[in-house]
Chains A and B, each alone.
Chain A
Amino acid sequence: MNKDKTRGKAKIKKIISIVIALIILGFTAAMFIMPIVLTVTNSFMTKSEITANYGKIFSEEGSSAVSSYIADKVNLKIIPDKVSFGQYITVLIKSPQYLLKFWNSVIYVIPIVIFQIIVALGASYSFARYKGKFRNTMFFIYIALMLMPYQVTLVPNYLVADWMDILNTRWSVILPGIFSPFAVFILTKTMQRIPSSIVEAAKIDGANEWKIFRKVFVPMSKNAIYSVAILLFMDYWNMVEQPLIMLQNNEDMHPLSVYLSKINAGEIGLAFAVAAIYMVLPLLLFLYSEDRVLEGIASSSAIKG
């Protein structure tokens, strides 16, 4: 009798706690995806609807949108009145400058991701296979630098780029990106978990270092490589600080992640489509390989130990 009562009580308690969790999680999750959803749905509005809804915000100069109707009050709509691909057509066909900025982003991100990982694989192999005073110190410096914000690292980067005479060229963004330590850190931590017995076995079979590296360590770090690639891609796809400093006098080479914020009042009719195009790639990549992203993030906490 008594037992039943407490069990019933516990059950009710459990249900209540689940309901509370559902409400809190549901509310937060809705808030979190709202900006993403709104950007996508708004990208299917017609230019006149955008101007009508948001004209009050984006046309402060007042001149650019005189001819079209502007609502008195801003009207944030989730679902467009009329679904239209007009914005996309304008972006993709009539306004090449956005596509060029998009290409700039691709041109920065792809080589940085690929070469940072290739360079890091070698260093990680070396760090993981042999521990000595020099390597321990170097690894510690890598981590310390990984933790430093751009305010600290960009000044040295800039000095070198200036000395090499590559300021305002793509190289000034790509080269420091390639030698950034993030991939070294994650891949070293991964390779350190590969048991030394495997190395011994490979050696007995007559494998040299290059073979052990290529046939044992790289394949065994495949998952981590994949995670790092995705995290790096997302990070550099979103970069702002480096181009602002390194490409100060060459705005044509800015990536879309910087250029998007400079869309002016006259172009508001296509801004949502540009924003949506820019986030689709990392978003799909994430949804496609969510588990790998989570693994990658979780492994980044290995900093202590």
Chain B
Amino acid sequence: MIKKVKSELKRRKPVSFENRDKTSTMPFMIPSIAGFMLFFLIPFFIVLYYSFIDNPINQEFVAFDNYISLLRNHAFMLSLKNTLIFSVIAVPLAVIIPLILALFLENNIPGKSIFRTALISPLVVPVASVILIWQVVFHYNGVINVFLDSVGIEAVDWFKSDFSRLVVVMLFLWKNTGYNMVLFMAALANIPLDVKEAALIDGVGPIRRFFRIKLNFMSSSIFFVTILSLINSFKVFREVYLLTGDYPYEGLYMLQHYINNTFRSLDYQKLSAAAVIICIIITAIIALLFVIDNKLGSSVDE
């Protein structure tokens, strides 16, 4: 009898609980889903729709005309090219430098927590606050050029030449190194102790220890940091804008500059097509990284 009741309970419990959970937890997500739909999801489909019509009043279907004219648009292609060049330079650095710093911080070093705090602090400081110092240092009449002049090297126009990319890369790294370093430190802390100890006992040197053991365990966090830095590199407009304003040196004209300037002329079709293209590029890059990570990471199970 008891057995029967028990088996009956077993049979019924999961089903009834699940159904109850489904409906009773539904109301909790209504505000979030509603707001998300209203501000992000539905207008995104409108954007998609706008990218295929001639203008919001006429609403005539024009297939890929908006995209084609965008790809022929000099300003858009320039901003796309600049953004991609920046990503190619900045992302590897934003992965490697924090990784090295995190490995150094893993050792038992005096004053470790002070170094850590100092390296992370730029993360919390608004970029706008330090722009002044950046300008004092890199301006044509600034500190670096004064120094270069004193050692007899010709001054460089750091904001209005190809060197400006370097300046922005430095600002980007200054801002983003801390975050990535924290992620790597967390990953290093998660490597099981017995694995580390086994490697130490086997007498494997620090460099081989890194490539043979740590790198394996960290592959997924390296993957994540790469994605994150890539996305952040698309956001570098902020730094460029604060440093040089709406119309920077040609090499610093970023996608967001194009979007901002197109907003001013309220060309919805172009804006929409641009947003969709950027969305596709980001999605493609992330998907690619996922594929690479799956191939690399299959050897180690987390």
Q: Is A106 an interface residue (CB 8 A)?
A: no
B259–A154 touching, CB < 8 Å: yes
CB < 8 Å neighbour of B183 from A26, A149, A248, A297: A297
Q: Is A194 an interface residue (CB 8 A)?
A: no
CA distance A119 to B146 in the complex (A): 53
CB < 8 Å neighbour of B274 from A28, A151, A244, A258: A151
CA distance A151 to B234 in the complex (A): 8
CA distance A213 to B25 in the complex (A): 9
With A234-B124, A301-B186 as contacts: A241 and B40 at CB distance below 8 Å: no
CA distance A76 to B133 in the complex (A): 9
CA distance A76 to B129 in the complex (A): 17
Q: Is B8 an interface residue (CB 8 A)?
A: no
B129–A260 touching, CB < 8 Å: yes
A298–B275 touching, CB < 8 Å: no
Q: Which residues of chain A from 1 to 55 have any CB-CB distance to chain B below 8 Å in the complex?
A: 17-18, 21-22, 24-26, 28-36, 38-39, 42, 54
Interchain Cβ contacts within 8 Å, total number? 282
Q: Is A88 an interface residue (CB 8 A)?
A: no
Q: Which residues of chain A from 235 to 265 have any CB-CB distance to chain B below 8 Å in the complex?
A: 237-238, 240-241, 244-245, 248, 256-258, 260-261
> Which stretch, B66-74, B88-96, B103-111, B208-216, touches the partner chain A?
B103-111
CA distance A298 to B9 in the complex (A): 41
Q: Is A79 an interface residue (CB 8 A)?
A: no
CA distance A286 to B142 in the complex (A): 31
B221–A301 touching, CB < 8 Å: yes
Q: Which residues of chain B from 97 to 125 have any CB-CB distance to chain A below 8 Å in the complex?
A: 100-101, 104-105, 107-110, 114-115, 117-125
Contacts of B36 in A (CB 8 A): 142, 145, 179, 181
Contacts of B46 in A (CB 8 A): 156, 159
With A147-B282, A152-B279, A179-B39 as contacts: A209 and B235 at CB distance below 8 Å: no
Contacts of B177 in A (CB 8 A): 32
CA distance A293 to B123 in the complex (A): 10
CA distance A146 to B251 in the complex (A): 28
SS class of chain B's interface: helix, strand, loop or mixed?
helix
CA distance A119 to B174 in the complex (A): 33
> Which stretch, B57-65, B160-168, B191-199, B223-231, touches the partner chain A?
B223-231
CA distance A130 to B31 in the complex (A): 17
B238–A21 touching, CB < 8 Å: no
Chain B 249-289: CB-based contact to A (< 8 A → 1; otherwise 0): 00000011001100110001001101100110011001000
CA distance A166 to B220 in the complex (A): 42
The chain A residue with its CB closest to the CB of B118 is A29
Q: Is B81 an interface residue (CB 8 A)?
A: no
Contacts of B78 in A (CB 8 A): none
CB distance from A4 to the nearest CB of B (A): 17
B107–A18 touching, CB < 8 Å: yes
The chain B residue with its CB closest to the CB of A164 is B38
Count class of interface residues, chain B: 35 or more
CB distance from B28 to the nearest CB of A (A): 4
The chain B residue with its CB closest to the CB of A125 is B28
The chain A residue with its CB closest to the CB of B37 is A179
Contacts of B272 in A (CB 8 A): 155
Contacts of A33 in B (CB 8 A): 118, 121-122
CA distance A118 to B107 in the complex (A): 40
Residues in chain A within 8 A of chain B (CB atoms): 17-18, 21-22, 24-26, 28-36, 38-39, 42, 54, 56-58, 73-74, 76, 119-120, 122-123, 125-127, 129-130, 132, 135, 138, 141-142, 144-145, 147-160, 175-176, 178-179, 181, 184, 208-209, 213, 234, 237-238, 240-241, 244-245, 248, 256-258, 260-261, 271-272, 275-276, 278-279, 282-283, 285-287, 290, 293-294, 297-298, 300-301, 303-305
Residues in chain B within 8 A of chain A (CB atoms): 18, 21-22, 24-26, 28-33, 35-36, 38-44, 46-47, 100-101, 104-105, 107-110, 114-115, 117-137, 139, 141-143, 146, 174, 177-179, 182-183, 185-187, 206, 220-221, 223-224, 227, 231, 234-235, 237-238, 241-243, 245, 255-256, 259-260, 263-264, 268, 271-272, 274-275, 278-279, 282-283, 286, 293, 302
A-B pairs, 7 with minimum CB distance: A156-B43, A123-B32, A179-B35, A298-B186, A126-B29, A29-B118, A260-B128
20 A-B contacts, Cβ less than 8 Å apart? Answer: A36-B125, A39-B129, A56-B141, A122-B32, A127-B29, A130-B22, A144-B283, A147-B286, A155-B259, A157-B40, A234-B123, A260-B128, A260-B242, A261-B128, A261-B241, A261-B245, A283-B125, A285-B124, A290-B117, A298-B186
